Amino acid sequence: MGKKIVIISIIIIIIGITLGIVFLSQNTIVQDVDDQKTILKGDVIMSTKVSRPGCEKTDSCYTPSKIVIKQGGSVTWVNEDVAFHSVTSGYYDKPSEIFDSEYLDPEESFTFIFENIGIYDYFCTLHPWMKGQVIVELS
């Protein structure tokens, strides 16, 4: 009778340890997923501090400031700055109304599909020194 109690106690302890390990590992996996930050991928990035004048001197307001794509391709802009930005076709004093992201919150993105070949200049309506260009070539 004493051996049965010892064996049953050992089995209960092993089951308890196994359940504890399974429970802890499931919580760790869930916690790891919750802690991950969503990373947005874009073709053109608005980096931190480009809302201040000066990025135009190093051609880094939009990175890259010029991008070449094929006809029918798309470009995705991602705002990694803490300030609002926009991606608006044309020039500050003469927008062309081909595309306009409106205001992009930090970490927001905007994608536009370019159906026609040509050179598309764009700027930020809030920060007129921010300028870029998309060159669309024949596919």
Which sequence spans correspond to the domains of the chain?
A: 1-36, 44-137
- What pLDDT is stored for residue 9 in this prediction? 74
pTM of the model: 0.71
Class of the CATH domain delimited by 44-137: mainly beta
**How many Cβ atoms from other residues are within 10 Å of residue 16's Cβ?**
10
Q: How confident is the model over 16-26, as a mean pLDDT?
A: 63
Q: Is 89 helix (H, G, I), strand (E, B) or coil?
A: strand
Whether residue 8 has pLDDT greater than 50: yes
